[in-house]
Structure 1
Amino acid sequence: MVSNASTPDQLVGILRDTVVALVRRDGPDLSARQLGVFLTVYLTDAPHTVRGLAAELNVSKPAITRALDRLGELDLARRKVDPMDRRSVLVQRTLKGTAFLRDMRSIMAEAETQKRDIQIGETAGAEPVRKAG
């Protein structure tokens, strides 16, 4: 019987396959920091501020600012002055960023399915079937 729980090696493999697919496709190529900021903005409840992201990710505010500069260039996130506190800058999601996250989820799901199929094949004693690409 095959367990649905992934091992750490399988999870790292899924991450690797996802990153490789993102690098190979046409579109933005994000650094680890940029991806961390992007995923934090899109996967945790808003509102997000530069100060809050820096605290949550335990990096400097200038590092967050540089990551947001790149995400802004790619239209994956945008900054807006907080109308309630003009000293604060809010980070907002964009339609293009939402589409990028959707694509990333699809890529990860495909990588996870491939890893599971390989695991099932190896458990059954068959030769692993690996998809080229």
Structure 2
Amino acid sequence: MSQVKNDHMLNLLCGTMVTLVRRDGPDLSARQLAVFLTCYLNDGAHTVRGLAAALNVSKPAITRALDRLRVLGLAERKPDPLDRRSVLVRHTPKGQAFLREMRAIMAEASGSQADRDDRAIGQVERLSIRRAG
């Protein structure tokens, strides 16, 4: 991937994260956000074991992240009816609302970043024209 594309993605991430920390709402760590997004963006049932494997972190780390998500109302844990030893992670209405909000924030950050990229390209083009002329 080109450096410009990487910078665009990093700026989009930065804009999204800055907006998330400035607003009045849950303040998630990177791990908590990764667990949340993995659960909400990937179909199917999620278990602590499965999340630990998918994110390549320990089961206790996933449990701590899920504990925080539960306190914030962003996820629930329920016993698996097919295997009572296993716990399934469930979506919540508050979690669905948070995901919608994140999508809106990212869309806005993406538009703002595209505007900045267009302005920067225009400045480079103007400089090139001046130097050539």
TM-score scaled to structure 2, two decimals? 0.88
Following TM superposition, by how much is the alpha carbon of 1:73 offset from its aligned partner in structure 2, in angstroms?
0.2
What SS class does the counterpart of residue 79 from structure 1 fall into?
Answer: strand
What SS class does the counterpart of residue 88 from structure 1 fall into?
Answer: strand
Matched, 1:49 2:47: yes
- Runs of 4+ in structure 1 displaced over 4 angstroms? none
The residue that corresponds to 1:92 in the other structure is 90
Which structure shows the higher helix fraction? 2
Q: Which runs of 5+ in 1 are unaligned?
A: 1-5, 127-133
Following TM superposition, by how much is the alpha carbon of 1:125 offset from its aligned partner in structure 2, in angstroms?
2.8
The residue that corresponds to 2:122 in the other structure is 124
- For residues 66-89 of structure 1, the C-alpha deviation after alignment (integer angstroms, 9 at most, x for no partner) is 000000000100000001100000
Following TM superposition, by how much is the alpha carbon of 1:123 offset from its aligned partner in structure 2, in angstroms?
2.0
- For residues 28-75 of structure 1, the C-alpha deviation after alignment (integer angstroms, 9 at most, x for no partner) is 000000000000000001200000000000000000000000000001
The residue that corresponds to 1:115 in the other structure is 113
- For residues 5-36 of structure 1, the C-alpha deviation after alignment (integer angstroms, 9 at most, x for no partner) is x7100100110111111001001000000000
Following TM superposition, by how much is the alpha carbon of 1:122 offset from its aligned partner in structure 2, in angstroms?
2.1
The residue that corresponds to 2:100 in the other structure is 102
- For residues 62-117 of structure 1, the C-alpha deviation after alignment (integer angstroms, 9 at most, x for no partner) is 00000000000001000000011000000001110010011001111111101111
Matched, 1:20 2:14: no
Q: Which runs of 5+ in 2 are unaligned?
A: 125-133
Matched, 1:61 2:59: yes
* Distance in 2 between residues matched to 1:122 and 1:75, nearest whole Å: 41
Tell which deviates more after alignment, 37-46 or 115-124: 115-124
The residue that corresponds to 2:127 in the other structure is none
The one-letter code sitting in structure 2 at the alignment partner of 1:18 is T
* Distance in 2 between residues matched to 1:123 and 1:49, nearest whole Å: 46
* Distance in 2 between residues matched to 1:125 and 1:51, nearest whole Å: 51
* Distance in 2 between residues matched to 1:82 and 1:55, nearest whole Å: 18
TM-score scaled to structure 1, two decimals? 0.88
The alignment covers a number of residue pairs equal to: 121
* Distance in 2 between residues matched to 1:56 and 1:27, nearest whole Å: 27
Structure showing greater radius of gyration is: 2
CA RMSD of aligned residues (A): 1.2
